Amino acid sequence: MYIPTVLNVLQVSLSPLAGIFGFGRPASNDIHSVHGWDKFGVLSPYHDRSHVHGVRADLPADCTVDQVVLLHRHGSRGPEGEEVYINKLVETLENSSIPHHLPPSLRFLNHGYKSDLVPKNLTIIGRQQLFDHGVEFGRHYPGFSTDFVLSSTSQRVIDSAFYFTQGMFGREVDIVTVDKLGLPVNWILPWESCPKFSPWSELEAERATWAKKYIPVIKQRLSALLPGVELSDEDIRGALYACPYDLAAHDVSPWCEVFKPHELAAFDYESDLVSDGISGYISRNDTGPILGSVYVNKLIERFSNTTGDARDLYLEFGHDVTILLVLSAMNLNKDIIPLTPEYMPPDRKFRGSEQSPFAARMIWEKFTCKHSFEGPQVRLLLNGETYRLTSCQKSLKDLRFGTCSLSGFVKANVFSTNIRYGDETWNAACVDKY
């Protein structure tokens, strides 16, 4: 059980690429979206998703939301390992003679570049994101309340839960971490119960294959603009990481102006390749959807009230992977042709920047209506917009509101309901010597 008493310290065009990279339209009208600075995979600053054409944002007037389940990613944070590349870039620049005559996008280097990023910690902007989301959530669901909040064990997630509840309730609420539940597997960190889930080292080959297609080309371009500065591939990667992490800490970064849209698109795709390999449809042994089944089963248990003690409100906080696992288990962001490090498809369903940016919020509603729908219905709001439940939609109304019946939802998720922790499917994916 955790009640925070002390706040954290305040923190303060290249033709060879033309056939590889694609472009997406802005998700909103803020400065990040206008410049394309909201697409860095799961390192993207929070932004509401674009409205889906043809899907109504509000439910019919005769409908009432009876149960709400929130799954929230932590807010913007400092780097988690990537600071090695950023620090390497800073060192290279410090040991180089920067030319005086630079193009506008690089003139900031005449004054030097320092990094004050605090690894792993929630930033000021991250705290603001969660507080604002708590206020918005409280205003949207004024009749819902709870004294039980569940969080992963990471400090940035615990802090995120604290700021959200401060925004929603204006007071301290007990925050329980998942390790206190005493379960063999939990739905916030299911990978901790899967010994074969070791994604990072296994994905380096895919990352490296894709990186070779765009990092050297960026290095060639920037080296021509910075004669005398011996930039390495690691330096280029450091500059790319500096852009989203500066945004996470300060809401601005000089490095974002340095890169072309197709270069940032390549960086975004690299993140999606890794995320899909961890939590999605190219994951080893299909561990992504299998691990996501833990949350899906818990959600169905709550909506169906099979235990007889379901609450009307659940507030839970985790990570980008937590959310992406759920979408994978439900088959809601699967690309017909699996993502590959050989090329970037012009359009894809798996997009970490839209589905699990910093401070992503997944809100599940169960609702009933007097006339519009028959029986309990289910809806998903993902990052401010209705996310179509394509796997279980049956009627024109389902298409219009992005919903489906609870019974249809359960039937559509038979993949998850057929999996239990420790069964043959689970052990084949997760246990080393099965």
Query: Mean pLDDT, to the nearest integer, of 150-176?
Result: 97
Question: pLDDT (tens digit, 9 = 90+) per residue, 378-403?
Answer: 999 999 999 999 999 999 999 999 99
Mean pLDDT, rounded, for 9-35:
41
For residue 182, pLDDT over 60 is answered with: yes
* Encoded tokens for 284: 């080893």
What is the reported pTM? 0.91
* Mean pLDDT value across residues 53-76: 96
Average pLDDT of 157-180? 96
CA distance 271 to 200: 12
pLDDT at 67 over 70: yes
Q: Which one is catalytic: 38, 159, 320, 398?
A: 320
Whole-number pLDDT of residue 172: 86
Encoding tokens for residue 410?
């359960």
SS (H, E, C) the chain: CECCCCCCCCCCCCHHHCCCCCCCCCCCCCHHHHCCCCCECECCCCCCCCCCCCCCCCCCCCEEEEEEEEEEECCCECCCCCHHHHHHHHHHHHCCCCCCCCCHHHHHHHHCCCCCCCCCCECHHHHHHHHHHHHHHHHHCCCCCCCCEEECCCHHHHHHHHHHHHHHHCCCCCEEEHHHHCCCCCCCCHHHHCCCCCHHHHCHHHHHHHHHHHHHHHHHHHHHHCCCCCCCHHHHHHHHHHHHHHHHHHCCCHHHHCCCHHHHHHHHHHHHHHHHHHHCCCCHHHHHHHHHHHHHHHHHHHHHCCCCCCCCEEEEEECHHHHHHHHHHCCCCCCCCCCECCECCCCCCCCHHHHCCCCCEEEEEEEEECCCCCCCEEEEEECCEECCCCCCCCCHHHHHHCCEEHHHHHHHCHHHHCCCCCCHHHHHHHCCCC
Residue 230's CB: how many other CB atoms inside 10 A? 10
Q: What is the pLDDT of residues 320-362, one digit of tens each?
A: 999 999 999 999 999 999 999 999 998 999 999 999 999 999 9
Angle at 83 between CA 130 and CA 224, to 5 degrees: 120
Q: Which of 74, 133, 262, 319 is catalytic?
A: 74
Rounded Cα distance, 218 and 221, in Å: 5
Mean pLDDT score of the chain: 91
Which two structure tokens, joined as six digits, stand for 168? 């929603």
Q: Which residues contact 260 (CB under 8 A, 6 or more apart)?
A: 13, 14
Mean pLDDT across the stretch 170-180? 95
pLDDT the model gives residue 422: 95
Given this model, what pLDDT does residue 432 score?
Answer: 75
Which residues touch 379 (CB under 8 Å, ≥6 apart)?
A: 59, 364, 365, 367, 386, 389, 401, 402, 403
The 10s digit of each residue's pLDDT in 80-113 is 999 999 999 999 999 999 999 999 999 999 999 9
30 pLDDT tier (thresholds 50, 70, 90): low
320 classed as catalytic: yes
Tell me the domains of the chain and their CATH numbers. 35-80+122-195+270-430 (3.40.50.1240)
What is the token pair recorded at 121?
A: 């910690």
First to last CA, the chain: 35
Binned at pLDDT 50, 70 and 90, residue 202 comes out as low
pLDDT at 423 over 70: yes
The β-bridge partners of 430 are none
| 118-158 confidence digits (pLDDT tens) | 999 999 999 999 999 999 999 999 999 999 999 999 999 99
CA distances to 73, 181, 189, 268 from 178, rounded to whole Å, are 15, 5, 8, 31
Please give the structure tokens belonging to residue 405.
């019946």
Structure tokens at 108: 């900031």
**Cβ partners under 8 Å of residue 220, min gap 6:** none
Long-range contacts of 296-299 (CB under 8 A, 24+ apart): 296/326, 296/329, 296/330, 296/413, 296/416, 296/417, 297/187, 297/416, 297/417, 297/419, 297/420, 298/187, 299/69, 299/364
Q: Annotated catalytic, 74?
A: yes
Query: CA nearest 108: which of 98, 116, 118, 97?
Result: 98
